[in-house]
Amino acid sequence: MKIISTNIGERKEVTFKNKTFFTGIYKNPVEGSIFLNSKEVKGDEISDRKNHGGILQAVYGYSLEHYAFWKEKYPNVAFNFGMFGENLTIAGLDERNIHSGDTFKVGETILEATIQRDPCYKLGARFNDMKIVKQFWNTTFCGVYFKVLQTGNVNVGNQFIQIKSCPENPTIADLYLAKKVKKGM
């Protein structure tokens, strides 16, 4: 796995379906390194700290390969890396092969895979179409939240070097499917 894009979002006020809210899902690629703190990415907006950020969700990674699937479903959307609210767009990330607890050396940091990302209405607002939330649930393309065990900078091109494997734990895709069942979907 390798970082293709580092992405940061600013606080943005959005009105969607007659509801106004603040969000940081509108992320864009940035030049240079980004600093991964223990509870967040430095300079990145987290408007909903109940569901994002914190120790277990400090950094969100999404797969470069998933973009082709979504571009086919949404050909009229102007895609950029960070489109799914990810801090890191990662080539080779596959939720079916990453277990909770798997740990990686990335740039100056050490990251531990923790949980899946569950879609919400803000993803629908980002795509201007609530259908994407159900479509997102109907895949295993959820992305991976990472815990930051060692803070530091990461850059485009940094490789994920696995330093701990936890095959006894569920994969991120398994956690996502279990959450879907728990929600009765």
Residue-wise pLDDT tens digits, 69-88:
999 999 999 999 999 999 99
- Torsion from C-alpha of 59, 26, 117, 183, nearest 10 degrees: 150
Structure-token pair, residue 86: 């990810």
Residue 185 has pLDDT above 80, yes or no: no
Rg over alpha carbons for the chain, rounded to the nearest Å, is: 15
Classify 138 as helix, strand or coil: coil
Instruction: Name the percent of the chain in helix, strand, coil, to the closest 5.
Output: 20, 35, 45
Q: What tens digit of pLDDT does each residue of 174-183 get? A: 999 999 988 8
Cβ atoms 6, 111 nearer than 8 A: no
User: Considering the entire predicted model, what is its pTM?
Assistant: 0.94
Structure-token pair, residue 76: 């009229």
Q: Region 126-150: what's the mean pLDDT?
A: 95
